[in-house]
Structure 1
Amino acid sequence: MMRAIAIFLALAAVCGAVPAEAKRLDDTPRTVVMTAFSPEWDALAPAISKPREYKVNGLTFLTGKLEGKPVVLMASGVSMVNAAMNTQLVLDRFNVRRIVFSGIAGGVDPELSIGDVVVAQDWAQYLEVSFARQTEQGWVVPEEVDAGAPKNWNMMFPRGVRLGNAAEPMQRHYTIAVDPGLVDLARKVTSEVTLRRCAKDGPPEQAGPCLPQTPRIVVGVTGVSAGVFADNAEFRGYLQQAWHARVLDMESAAVAQVAYANRVPAIVFRSLSDLAGGDAGANQMNAFMALASVNSAHVVRAFVAALPD
């Protein structure tokens, strides 16, 4: 009898731990404006009119209007798993029309400078790789390498990501495209946007670190992501050569993958806070992340204003 009671209590505990089916928190069709962490959030949150907060799993979702358009602002958290998990969370809890990401990044292309805003047309997960075995004959990979795969970096051989959605079969992707219509709109909008040299207005002592030149906006390139704070000049060169990457970060490819799987249009805006190891001295992210966050937010606000009602 006691054993039966113990089994019953154990089953009840397990059943009680099963989360309830996700309930939509808001039915208004909205654009998700996604950031990763606080400087990016802080550059956008004050611009949300008539804000209303929702909290789920420790995250804050802020609904309201940005540039007159219904949005839900969120911070995904830093790195790939957080970005993927919380992109799916917002899709499950809100009526999402599209995803617009605003954030900072590291520059890979030597022609780009801190403060520049990059709008990639596709994203790759550069650490989705096979680790090869080193032998007297060279590297031996544990699985066949596609002829069109990006070149390896020593023992790391890119293997791509297998995914599909309701419209396309499961297949290997080395890059995941964002929405081409949103990229076309970004080209039109950004031609009329001027970026900031300083994070704040006012005299130099109050404006924070300023750039020697006005940053520019580049649309239609390749970005790469991984759960790595990359600050290595040699690896930066590899990413540019093998992946044709111009920018790197820690979330965008995960967001693009979840958006692709759910067939939700997405686009990512990233402003360079550092050069991922290409800086002449120490990494400059801490010095310029506020300015980069402001520049990305500035472009995103212009983009959201141009979205169809």
Structure 2
Amino acid sequence: MGLSYPYVNVATAVQTLLLNKTFRISGIVFFGNAGSLDENVLVPGDVVVPEAVAFTGVWEWEEFRAQNKGKLVFGNYNYPENGENLLGTAAYENITLYSPSEEPKEVFWLPISSSWYKAATEELTKDLKFKECHSGRCLPGTAKVVFGLKASTSDFYVKNKAYGDFLLEKFNASTTDSAILLVLGLLLVTAKQSTQMSLKNPTSDIETSNCKVAFLRLGLVLTSDNNEKALRDSGLFEPDSENPHVDIAGRRFHVGTLNKTPIMYVKSGTHSVNVATAVQTLLLKFPISGIIFFGSSGSLDKDMLMPGDVAVPKAVAFTGVWEWKKFRSENKGKLVFGDFNYPENGENLLGTAEHQKIDLFSTSEESKEVFWLPISSSWYEAATEELKDLKLKKCHSGTCLPGTPKVVFGSKASTSDFYVKNKAYGDFLLEKFNASTADSASASVALTTLSNEKIFVVFQGVSNVAGGKSSNSGTKYIASYNAFLAATSSLIQFLRTTCLRVMR
């Protein structure tokens, strides 16, 4: 199984392996490359068997001079003296771990399966000899295996020493890579269930008792409780009376009709890996012809989008996939941390970050590297036609928007596992990539759906503005409701016609 950036490719590959009933997988062994963060413990050629891994690419990117500071303080790396930096600080967030046998829970460290870890320690402490030479090149020392360390995973290819030292100091992480966490997390979530599924397909009862699942053609994906509340409050969703839901890999896939049109919907949870695995499961286990995604986003351009508005982007991109370059590297990335030193720009030990393309896999073509992922043109055009005169919700529970909310078409959207509150970074995304919104889901939906050669569309309810005041719960709900309203109003008739053509 080949793995590549972004880490959602790892997630969907492992999810497919575990959920495909042909394979009967009971567990996953992952091997790959990592960078050492502690040269006193690990040097090139060594093998590390970590006892725990963490997702260190999930940030809440705080505003400049925010009262609540995150662990990563960009001003601490101003050179030659630390000071202030307009990029503020980054707080490292937990992720949500889903399980078929427990309620979802927030975690930071994910432990390696103890039985397999113990077996590895016993086997590898014997007389195992590692390869030390290849094609005339030899390691300077004897390669060894090291146990009991902690590993850091993100979509950053970390070449920068200052950031590597930060990870070692703050998290005691000795290695960094982009895959091991995803493999472990998915193993924890689905390995137990995959064994059960080899005995019984959880959708088989529905599929054999009636045709309701077999004829579903629309997949609806949402991320949060607020999104789901908006759907339920609308009164447009009617659960199936006989088989209202199917539970797979810790998530509930709801069966029913939306405005009389048969659908399945799933609440994926936040963060790109959770979104990608939910979409992959939906497409893998059910005959879905396309995905409608609606969720919340932050505006990066207050002149275009304000809270309560709905963005229907024409393209989305992963902007959290970085090559984090060395200090004073000759080839600089777009994001130059020293440019944000305050009150004057200068140098910063964090160097620069170059935003990377991602690998797009396809069932009919060779994989290719891309940056922007285009929204399916047929559904995008249908949305532009249907939403011309749509009236959006303006008030909820005593909270009203200051202006009349609107639908904005043709924007570009930025996706990463950063919750962007910081105005300087938001302005950077707008200036360098012409991105008008930031969220943690849209590009995951796009990449996973395109990899399965399905059509999709994205509706983003704007809940806040980067650098602006935090929105209250009423405004956030209005944003979710308006995104749902746009999603429902624009494509139901189109999808009904499509389904009729398919069933004929």
Question: What is the CA–CA distance in structure 2 between the aligned matches of 1:24 and 1:177, rounded to whole Å?
Answer: 34
1:274 equivalenced with 2:464 (yes/no): yes
Task: Note the 1:153-302 alignment, pairs <5 A.
Answer: 153-154=336-337, 155-199=352-396, 207-277=397-467, 279=468, 282-284=469-471, 286-302=473-489
Letter in structure 2 aligned against 1:235: Y
1:167: Cα distance to partner? 3.4
* Matched residue, 1:123: 316
CA distance 1:220–1:167, shift in 2 (3 Å): farther
C-alpha distance in structure 2 between counterparts of 1:285 and 1:307, whole Å:
35
User: Is the partner of 1:43 in helix, strand or coil?
Assistant: helix
Q: Deviation at 1:153?
A: 4.3
| Change beyond 3 A, Cα 1:210–1:305 | same
TM-score by length of 2: 0.52
Match of 1:36 among 223, 229, 241: 223
1:31 shift after superposition: 0.6
Amino acid aligned to 1:47: L
User: CA shift at 1:196, angstroms?
Assistant: 1.4
Alignment of 1:104-119 (within 5 A): 104-111=296-303, 112-119=305-312
Aligned to 2:145: none
In the alignment, residue 484 of structure 2 is paired with which amino acid? A
Deviation at 1:263, TM superposition (A): 0.4
What SS does the corresponding residue of 1:72 show, helix, strand or coil?
strand
Q: For residues 32-82 of structure 1, what are the alpha-carbon distances to aligned partners after superposition, in whole Å with 9 as ceiling and x for unaligned?
A: 111001110111134212431222222111111112211111111101000
C-alpha separation between the residues in 1 aligned to 2:392 and 2:336?
A: 35
Pairing 1:59-78 to 2, within 5 Å after superposition: 59-78=251-270
5+ unaligned residues in a row in structure 1: which ranges?
Answer: 1-9, 11-15, 146-150, 200-206
Q: Which moved more, 1:68-77 or 1:49-58?
A: 49-58
User: CA, structure 1 residues 153+106, in 2 after alignment: closer, same or farther (shift >3 Å)?
Assistant: farther
In 1, distance between residues paired with 2:492 and 2:277? Answer: 28
The 3 A distance-change label for structure 1 pair 283 and 50 is: closer
Task: Give the partner amino acid of 1:41.
Answer: E
Cα distance in 1 for partners of 2:300, 2:366 equals 32
- CA 1:153/1:307 → structure 2, altered by over 3 Å: closer, same or farther? farther
Secondary structure of the corresponding residue to residue 400 of structure 2: coil
- Show CA shifts across 1:254-309 (max 9, x none): 110000100010111001000122x1xx3216452111111111111112332242
Q: Over alpha carbons, which structure has the higher Rg?
A: 2
Task: Give 2:236's aligned residue.
Answer: 47
Once residues 336 and 476 of structure 2 are traced to their aligned partners in structure 1, the CA distance between those partners, rounded to angstroms, is 29
User: 1-side partners of 2:364 and 2:487: how far apart?
Assistant: 29
Q: Which residue of 2 aligns with 1:305?
A: 492
RMSD: 2.0
Instruction: State the TM-score, normalized to the length of structure 1.
Output: 0.83
Partners of 1:291 and 1:171 in 2: CA distance? 39
What CA deviation, in whole Å up to 9, does each residue of 1:231-271 have, x standing for no partner?
Answer: 00000000001111011101110110000100010111001
Q: Does residue 152 of the first structure (1) align with residue 335 of the second (2)?
A: yes
Per the TM alignment, residue 152 of structure 1 is displaced from its structure 2 partner at its CA by: 3.3
Asked if 1 retains the 8 angstrom alpha-carbon contact of 2:300 and 2:466, the reply is: yes
Return the alpha-carbon distance in structure 1 between the equivalents of residues 315 and 222 of structure 2: 18
Q: State the distance in 2 between where 1:185 and 1:267 align.
A: 10
1:99 aligns with 2:291: yes
The structure-2 alpha-carbon separation of the partners of 1:225 and 1:153, relative to structure 1 and needing over 3 Å to count, comes to: farther
Partner amino acid for 2:231?
Answer: L
Contact 1:35 1:41 in 2 (8 A): yes
Are the counterparts in 2 of residues 130 and 158 from structure 1 also a CA contact under 8 Å? yes
The whole-number CA distance in structure 1 between the counterparts of 2:202 and 2:411 is 35
CA offset at residue 214 of structure 1?
0.9
Q: Return 48-57 or 259-268, whichever deviates more.
A: 48-57
Contact 1:189 1:306 in 2 (8 A): no
Distance 2:441 2:386 in 1: 24
Q: In percent, how many aligned pairs have the same letter?
A: 21
* SS of match in other structure, 1:263: coil
SS at match of 1:191: coil
C-alpha spacing 1:263/1:285, structure 2 compared with 1 (3 Å): farther
| Long gaps (5+) in structure 2 | 1-118, 120-190, 204-212, 338-351, 497-504
Deviation at 1:209, TM superposition (A): 1.5
Greater RCO (Cα-Cα under 8 Å, separation 6 or more): 1
Aligned length: 275
2:401, 2:475 within 8 Å by CA — same for their partners in 1?
no
Given that residues 153 and 238 in structure 1 are in contact (C-alpha distance below 8 angstroms), is that contact kept between their aligned partners in structure 2?
A: no
Residue identity in the other structure for 2:483:
S
* Structure 1 counterpart SS, 2:412: strand
Aligned residue type for 1:259: T
